[in-house]
Structure 1
Amino acid sequence: MTNKDLTPTIAVYGANGHTAGHLLTELRRRGITPILVGRNAERLREAALAADLPDAEIRLADLDDRAALVAAFTGADVVISALSAFAVLGAPVVEAAIAAGAHYTDTSGEQLFVKRVLEEYGDRAAATGVTVIPGITDNNLPGDLLGHLTSRRVPGPAALVVSHLSRSKGNGSKGSAKTVLASLDWFTSGGYHYEDGELRTGPLTRFTEVTMPGDTTPTAVSKFPQSPVITIPRHSDVAYVAGILDSEILTHLGEFTPEALESIPDAPSSDLRYHVIVDTVGTDGTQVRGLVSGVDSYRDSALMAAEVATRLATGTARPGALAPAEAFDPVDLLDSFVPHGLTWTIESR
């Protein structure tokens, strides 16, 4: 379905979470009154009022009721899924969106879910004439776009490492903690990296230390399951792609328990500035760094999901399951976020 001339109709599933609150506010800023879909009418109505959307339509559908989900998404140009723990909960929403003839995007940050969507739903989406783009977050979207751009600045096949650095050391939301806990073994094991034409598990073989922006000495890093590891090889000439995180942070992550989840506030810290860093090395040793600096991880994820959704509503991206850089021009998309306080650069090193 496309809606090139009219205000798009966008349905949001999981509209009462922290990121979703930012998402609803951003859609309202764009003049869009979304359809709120979920299982609890009272919580959805509260979310609509909090976003100053008193006239928003509420549609009820449980994740285990496929017919209700399809009915709830019917008539929408685009569905945005704003769940937590996508690896456990996310599949019914993308399946129902495709069945309803709606384009789809989400705020998942989970490597396993992004991989599943790209591998399992592409043919179905293409046959229906819709576009599916998973994994639109403050880390995944910039990482994918920067991977596309930096890999073209060096002789290929390139080697890349993607990292996310908190500039404020703030704490995430309870929803983010639920996502990590649902796939804790995968997060602590490091997940996939891409090497010599295939996805692999196991330790880093490159980039075990990285000098972060503003630092003069390198930081010890460990492998972390960043979703651009899945998406960058789809569109760029690469021999190696890995996600990393400060080793000290990952040590604390390994100590996370269900009991600890209960003590985490629903809302995250107020200061959530961050960097997304893509370091790229060519076959001749040429080094390039791509950097996106953001304002608030949750707000920016919502901003990015809203932008992708409104672009999907125009119907200009080809049908199927796509990485962001396969669907849109990377420079144009990154530039669209600059008026909202995000900056991006690519520099030789």
Structure 2
Amino acid sequence: MRIAVFGAGGYTGKLVLAELNRRDIDTVLVGRSTERLTEAASRAGLGTVPASVRQAAAEDHTVLVHAFRDCSAVINCAGPFVLSGGAVVRAALAAGCHYVDTSGEQRHLDRTFTAFGGPAEKAGVTVVPGTNDDGLPSDLLAHLVAERVGPVRELVIGLDVDSGDAMPSRGTIRSGLENIDTFTTGGLGYEEGRWHTDIAARSTALTFPGGAGPIPVAKFPLPAVVTVPRHVKARRVEGVANARLVAALAGLTPAVINAVPEGPPADSRRKARWMITVEALGEDGSHARGVIHGTDMQGTTALIAVESAHRLVADGAAAGVLAPSQAYVPADFLRFLGRYGVQWSVDGPGTAVGG
């Protein structure tokens, strides 16, 4: 098994390299700067074998395909994905590599499903976008919650984050700025078979476990709004987040990029906490709820991305562009995350489960 990391010289890319090294997986580093890639390989303990460091830009299709050619899968860590993600998917398909990425950008996910479903099937390749700290866990959890109520009338996915002093990485901020319109409008909602920005969220407050009571929430462009309706029969799916988080992201400016380091240090990351709730109302009035939470959002993203790519190579999945719950067994993947401190539970009709 050999896995390529595109954008390996960036903050998230380096965390992914460290996880690949921890698991002793053969790794190829791909990106614009040989110098940055070599430095990243050294920091991750991968050494500096010339064949494993390959210079290629997203816009140079031929060179990028050549860089991926002898790899089993590609992990794309280079945002903003709305600018270059499609080019990396296209190169992975041409090279015959499975593809995952760490994007949380709704527009990128939506474009990937629309543009590459047929080509990926034809190439015999599996593409799973959005394998990050909120996209994959919320998709898997939503699938398990929806199973409890059968046909779903409404499914609400909520996010709360306590980042403490762990500022987002520069790459995350750049992606946020490139997608600022989705934060100011709330992005896509899903209703009666269509995704559209004009679908407003109905939820204005949610109660997160451990909190003192309901907190204000606002419509938010969660990746799961794009992926969940592809495997859950639901009339309506909406994504919301703590209103304070929504306001903070909507207020991003370019000046912030120069005011933060490349990414938060490990001790700050470990203090940061994230929580996702999923509530489903069935057509028959039944109700189910799921909760998943953990720490270290960036580290969790690296763990999820590597495991996602590894499973595609080791276990296989249907060819095409898939949501996480279509590519992986939801409860099994969540139990894997449970070994690394991620806790989850599903309550509703039937027996409660979790890990």
TM, length-normalised to structure 1:
0.94
In structure 1, the partner of 2:116 is: 121
Flag the 1:267–1:205 CA change in 2: closer, same or farther, 3 A. closer
Q: Give the Cα separation in 1 of the matches to 2:248 and 2:298.
A: 22
What is aligned with 1:31? Answer: 24
Amino acid in the other structure paired with 1:9: R
Corresponding residue for 1:328? 328
Q: How much does 1:275 deviate?
A: 1.1
Structure 1 stretch displaced more, 334-343 or 163-172: 163-172
- Please report how far the alpha carbon of residue 90 of structure 1 lies from its aligned counterpart in structure 2 after TM superposition: 1.2
Give the distance between the partners of 2:279 and 2:305, measured in 1 at CA: 25
**Are residues 1:102 and 2:97 paired?**
yes
Is residue 239 from structure 1 mapped to residue 232 from structure 2 by the alignment?
no
Partner of 2:189: 193
Q: Which amino acid aligns with 2:79?
A: S
| 1:1-349 mapped onto 2 (5 Å cutoff) | 8-56=1-49, 57-169=52-164, 170-202=166-198, 204-268=200-264, 269-270=268-269, 271-314=271-314, 316-348=316-348
Comparing 53-62 with 9-18, greater Cα deviation is found at 53-62
Question: What is the RMSD of the two structures over their aligned residues, measured on CA atoms?
Answer: 1.5
Shift of 1:116: 0.8
Contact 1:48 1:54 in 2 (8 A): yes
On the 8 A contact 1:26/1:303 being kept in 2, the answer is yes
Q: Distance in 2 between matches of 1:97 and 1:191?
A: 28
Q: CA deviation at 1:329?
A: 0.8
Q: Does the CA contact (< 8 Å) of 2:80 and 2:174 recur in 1?
A: yes
Specify the alignment match of 1:3 in structure 2.
none
Q: Residues 275-297 of structure 1, C-alpha deviation per residue, up to 9 Å, x if partnerless?
A: 12212222243332211112210
1:204–1:222 CA contact under 8 A, matched in 2: no
Q: Is the 8 A contact 1:154 1:288 kept in 2?
A: yes
Change in Cα spacing, 1:302 to 1:154, as seen in structure 2 (3 Å) is same
106-115 vs 315-324, greater mean Cα deviation: 315-324
C-alpha contact 1:211 1:219 (8 A) present in aligned 2: yes
Alpha-carbon deviations, 1:46-94, whole Å to 9, x = none?
Answer: 1111111005510111121110000000011001100121011211111
Partners in 2 of 1:127 and 1:29 — Cα distance? 34
Q: What is the deviation of 1:251? A: 2.1
Amino acid at match of 1:179: S
Change (3 A) 1:34 1:310: same
Is the Cα contact below 8 Å between 1:226 and 1:243 reproduced in 2?
yes
Report the Cα distance in structure 1 between the residues aligned to 2:25 and 2:201, rounded to whole angstroms: 47
Deviation at 1:168, TM superposition (A): 4.2
- The separation in 2 between residues aligned to 1:132 and 1:122, in whole angstroms, is 8
Return the alpha-carbon distance in structure 2 between the equivalents of residues 324 and 203 of structure 1: 24
Per mean C-alpha deviation after superposition, the further-off stretch among 143-152 and 212-221 is 212-221
CA contact under 8 A between 2:201 and 2:240: conserved in structure 1? no
Question: How far has the Cα of 1:322 moved from its partner?
Answer: 0.5
- Unaligned stretches of 5+ residues in structure 1: 1-7
Displacement of 1:33? 2.7
Matched residue SS, 1:109 = coil
> Do the aligned partners of 2:201 and 2:218 also contact (CA within 8 Å) in 1?
no
- In 1, the alpha carbon distance for the partners of 2:127 and 2:40 equals 26
Distance 1:171 1:347 in 2: 33
The number of equivalent residue pairs is: 342
**Larger deviation: 332-341 or 162-171?**
162-171
Q: Residues 9 and 34 of structure 1 are in contact (CA less than 8 Å); yes or no, is this contact kept in structure 2?
A: yes
